[in-house]
Amino acid sequence: MEAENLGKEEDSAPNVVVATSTPKGNSMQKERRRSTSTTSTCDGSISPSIFSEVSSIDNASKAKSALNHYEVPIAGYEIMEARARFTIFKLNVQCKNLGQTWPVFRRYSDFSRLHKKLRKMFPDIHLLLPAKRWFGDNFDSAFLETRMSGLQSFVNQILDCKELRQSSPVRKFFCFDDPPSEGEEFEASRERAESLEGLVEHLHQLLKEKDQEVKLLKLEIDLLKAGNGKSTNSKDDTKPHENSTN
């Protein structure tokens, strides 16, 4: 009985089937042994232990990365000519303790989106971003130099704050966890910028069409008002004539 119960206990425990070669012949000997942690089950599904291992590795990697010391000088800017003109700023991300440097290309609108995300996540932290310019030449060299200086201050504020520096939006913005090559990042930024420009151009076209519709509606309203005014005046003119004949 004890041997039978022992056999049942062994069958109820998780098992891994291992194929080992025997020294004689080409036959394979199957060996069953108990396992306390497995990555797969007999039905082919993945054990939860593999996810915990991946998660722990990912968290450890992020924790190690969080200790890195970064500096991000804005090296310059370039005015691009696509369907519309836009300016791209080049940031040199430097991981000082690892001796790594990689470029990141961003538009002012990218900085603006990051600013909005961080304001929602950290409402108590006051970040200064150069204001958007509504009038004037956005491609004037003096203006771009001033804007670049303001963006540099914005970047420095983020890097000086541990909470901001370790946040997901910031890590993605500067590619802390997945540094690109210069060609890859520039091409990705250019494609993203052109996509946004296409969307902006489409919205401008829709706006023009709506403006045209509004103008036509105003013209129709003015014509209706003018027609109603003439009919009213003609009725008023006929009343004295009728009274005089009476």
In a domain, 118, yes or no: yes
pLDDT value at residue 116? 96
In a domain, 179, yes or no: yes
How far CA 37 is from CA of 11, 47, 48, in Å, comes to: 16, 8, 9
In a domain, 230, yes or no: no
Kindly report the CATH number assigned to the domain that includes residue 159.
3.30.1520.10
For 54-65, what is each residue's pLDDT tens digit? 444 445 445 455
In a domain, 150, yes or no: yes
Do the Cβ atoms of 93 and 175 come closer than 8 Å?
Answer: yes
For 56-99, what is each residue's pLDDT tens digit? 444 544 545 556 889 999 999 999 886 778 999 999 999 988 89
Residue-range definition of the domain harbouring residue 116: 68-190
In a domain, 74, yes or no: yes
In a domain, 231, yes or no: no
- Give the pair of three-digit tokens for residue 33: 């042994």
pLDDT value at residue 38? 43
In a domain, 155, yes or no: yes
Number of domains, the chain: 1
- Mapping DSSP onto H, E and C, the string for the chain reads CHHHHHHHHHHHCCEEEEEEECCCCCCEEEEEEECCCCCECCCCCECHHHHHHHHHHHHHHHHHHHCCCEECCEEEEEEEECCCEEEEEEEEEEECCCCEEEEEEECHHHHHHHHHHHHHHCCCCCCCCCCCCCCCCCCCHHHHHHHHHHHHHHHHHHHCCHHHHCCHHHHHHHCCCCCCCHHHHHHHHHHHHHHHHHHHHHHHHHHHHHHHHHHHHHHHHHHHHHHHHHHHHHHHHHHHHHHHHC
In a domain, 25, yes or no: no
For 99-158, what is each residue's pLDDT tens digit? 999 999 999 999 999 999 999 999 999 999 999 998 989 999 999 999 999 999 999 999
Question: Is the whole model's pTM more than 0.85, yes or no?
Answer: no
